[in-house]
Amino acid sequence: MLLISFTEFILYICFSVLMGSLILFLVPEDKKPPMDIPKKVLYLAAVLIPVTSFLPVFNTANILAGNKDLWPILKGVIMTFEIGKAWMFVTFISVILLCVLGARQLKTKTHFITWALVLTLLMLFSYTMSSHAATITEWQGFMAHSFHFLAVTVWIGLLLVASWFSKNKTNWLTFLKWFTPVAVVCLAVTLVAGYFTMTIDINSYDDPNATVLQEYQNSLVVNYGQALVIKHIFIISLVLFAFLNGILFRKKHHEESFNPLKWGRLESVYALIVFGLTAFMGQSWPPHQIYTLIKSYGASPLFKTIYEGNFISTIHNAESTGIFNVTVIFGMESYLLFGLGVLFGLLTIIAAVKKESVFVSTFASLLMVVSVYFGIMMGIQ
């Protein structure tokens, strides 16, 4: 599972690099910093997308094969399963994309860039078509996950490419003038579409009348829910650094010693952490049936390390399926930890604006994540 999660993490980066690079090729030179995006990076991203998306296909075939011959099962998965057909289409489009990327005038001819973008979008939509949310709904899951993934790859892709491939900070302020509203729109789409995707992924089959909040609380018992809540807290840090880079640092742009690229790279690192957590969630069992999931695979090791109640033993001792709900009630300990999280958040901003210390800001933001996480976990009854 960890290997497949890692390959999915690489897949997210590849899509982001392609989207960010191709969009920036369309932006006039005076609207972006001088940058050098090697074609090798684009080739590698285009090749790695079908390579990394193949491992889940192989894993599905391997599970179905058991002790039988793997090859005919693998062919069956590729030809008949949604995940296999999506992989075939992605591979076919990737070959065409490599031909377009090989054009000598790719970076200067708009029609080449447009074709490359269209091909990248086709691969992206094919990938989201085989996602968990898409396969258990008629079209809602596909639409929600597609908009969510597209918004993330545009936002983070632009950030990754601009912060890591820019030569210097020339035109950075001009870049921020159009990138900041784009990032805000992408963030809004990410949150709205992400919410609908989440409601599909955590939908309870044990209790059809459960609220989204109750389903979210129940999911904390398993790996999926643990990764989900940590991801959401890291998104707070990501938005915090986006606020610093997009708003507060504008006044510092003209200071000779100020380097916005290192702060953009820090923001991109937090984005990569979110990618990693999302990839892990993609390979974890969704919490549709908490009773069956815990009976079969047990609770999350992280949850068991922190939680000291009887919830897990109650399920293990239960003789039949029932409705088992996690209760979250925040007490004094939780509120103190949340308050500590707010203080660490303020320290993150102060260290960035006053001291320009990447280390202190990073350390404070990580402490903020830890404080908020333990504040939530302390509330579980």
Q: What is the pTM of this model?
A: 0.91
Q: Is the pLDDT of residue 254 over 80?
A: no
Looking at 110-124, 236-250, 315-329, which range is the least confident one? 315-329
**pLDDT higher at 253 or 64:** 64
Residue type, 177: K
Residue from 116, 17, 98, 3 nearest 54 by CA? 3
**Which of 3-12, 14-23, 102-111 is predicted most confidently?**
14-23
Share of residues in the chain with pLDDT > 70 (%)? 98
Task: Check whether 114 has a pLDDT greater than 80.
Answer: yes
- Evaluate if residue 134 carries a pLDDT over 90: no
What's the half-sphere exposure (Cβ side, CA atoms, 13 Å) at 164?
A: 19
Rg (CA), the chain: 22
Instruction: State the average pLDDT over residues 173-177.
Output: 91
- The confidence score (pLDDT) of residue 321 equals 67
So what's the pLDDT on residue 104? 83
> DSSP labels for 259-287?
-HHHHHHHHHHHHHHHHHHHHHHHTSPPT
Return the closest-CA partner of residue 284 out of 270, 269, 267, 301.
301
Question: Please, which residues have CB within 8 angstroms of residue 146's CB and are 6 or more apart in sequence?
Answer: 124, 125, 128, 193
> What pLDDT digit, counting tens, does each position of 343-378 carry?
999 999 999 888 778 899 999 999 999 999 999 999
User: What pLDDT, on the 0 to 100 scale, is given for residue 149?
Assistant: 93
Q: What is the mean pLDDT of the chain?
A: 89
pLDDT grade, residue 141 (50/70/90)?
A: confident
Within 8 A by CB and 6+ apart from 176, the residues are 245, 246, 250
Mean pLDDT of 23-27: 94
pLDDT at position 119 is: 96
Tens digits of per-residue pLDDT, 262-321? Answer: 899 999 999 999 999 998 888 888 888 888 888 888 888 898 888 877 777 777 777 666
> Residue 238 to residues 13, 45, 75, 80, 271: CA-CA distances in angstroms?
16, 24, 41, 40, 7
pLDDT single digits (tens) 209-243: 889 999 999 899 999 999 999 999 999 999 999 98
Out of 4-8, 67-71, 358-362, least confident range: 67-71
Instruction: Report phi then psi at 139, rounded to 5.
Output: -145, -20
- Higher-confidence position of 134 and 236: 236
Render pLDDT for 39-52 as a digit per residue (tens, 0 to 9).
999 999 999 999 99
Q: How far apart are CA 373 and CA 346, in angstroms?
A: 17
For the cut 80, the answer to whether the pLDDT of residue 322 exceeds it is: no
